[in-house]
Amino acid sequence: MGTLENQIVRITSRLVAPFIQVYGIYVIIHGHLSPGGGFSGGAIFGASLVLVALSFNLEVGAKQISHDTASILESGGALGFVITGLVAIALGANFLANQSAGFPMGQTGQLFSAGAIFIITFFLGIKVASTIVTLFYNIIEGEDKSGDAH
Amino acid sequence: MMTGVLTEILNGLLLLFLVVCAIAVAQIRDMLSAVIVFASFGLIMAIVWQQLSSPDVAMVEAALGTGVTTLLLIAAISKTRRTE
């Protein structure tokens, strides 16, 4: 298993993965200003986690983010999305209302602007990234633990 | 005027490469090679989306079509056979 090709793949993915992750976070938190958003950035971030887990082995991947952590984050992202919508209802507006619910708008073009869109994009990014990691783990260890997974 | 013609030539070449990649994916018998050609299909498709002035879709195509799909298909190959 310890061939030269294996070494090249491992070293390359280890060097590239942090940059992919920083780019994914950048796309997520600039979702309301530039192209991309929660879905694109989450897909980029999740792909970097899957890349490391695939080029090394599952133990190294589980040290980054384990199957259970990914499942919890997946549910937590969806929960945060819904709670942000419910906060708008609690503030006296419609579900997922933004300006009419009184979220701070900020200065147009700055990073912390657009009120609830920023929070929603963040939770969406967490949700998509952990969904992709969960998808990968389900493919890799699907048959082994089908008894207790479902 | 000249740049418009060059853009049209670039778009034509990209679409031609897209068709070649799509046929090659269906024809190649080696699964790993087919996955890699499919990744290049997604990369060209992302550039085509960018040329159609939709950078949002291009970003999703580059991340999902090229990155995640390739990784998941390689994971599936590692669990099964490599040749058809």
ipTM of the complex: 0.81
8 Å CB contact of B76 and A35: no
pLDDT tens for each residue of chain A, 150 residues long: 456 668 888 899 889 999 999 999 999 888 888 888 888 899 999 989 888 888 887 777 788 888 888 889 889 989 998 998 888 888 887 887 777 777 777 777 777 777 788 888 889 999 999 999 998 888 888 765 555 444
8 Å CB contact of B60 and A27: no
8 Å CB contact of B72 and A51: no
Smallest CA–CA distance from A45 into chain B, residue: B63
Residue ranges of domains in chain B? 2-79
How confident is the model over B18-77, as pLDDT tens digits?
A: 999 999 999 998 888 999 999 999 999 999 999 998 988 998 898 888 888 998 888 888
Nearest CA distance, A93 vs chain B (angstrom): 30
Residue ranges of domains in chain A? 4-142
Contact status, residue A122 vs residue A28, Cβ threshold 8 Å: yes
pLDDT at residue A144, rounded to an integer = 55
Cα(A43)–Cα(A28) distance, integer angstroms: 10
Residues with Cβ within 8 Å of A98's Cβ and at least 6 positions away in sequence, in order, are: A88, A114, A115, A116, A117
pLDDT at residue B78, rounded to an integer = 83
Which chain A residues are Cβ-neighbours of B68 within 8 angstroms?
Answer: 43, 46-47, 50, 132
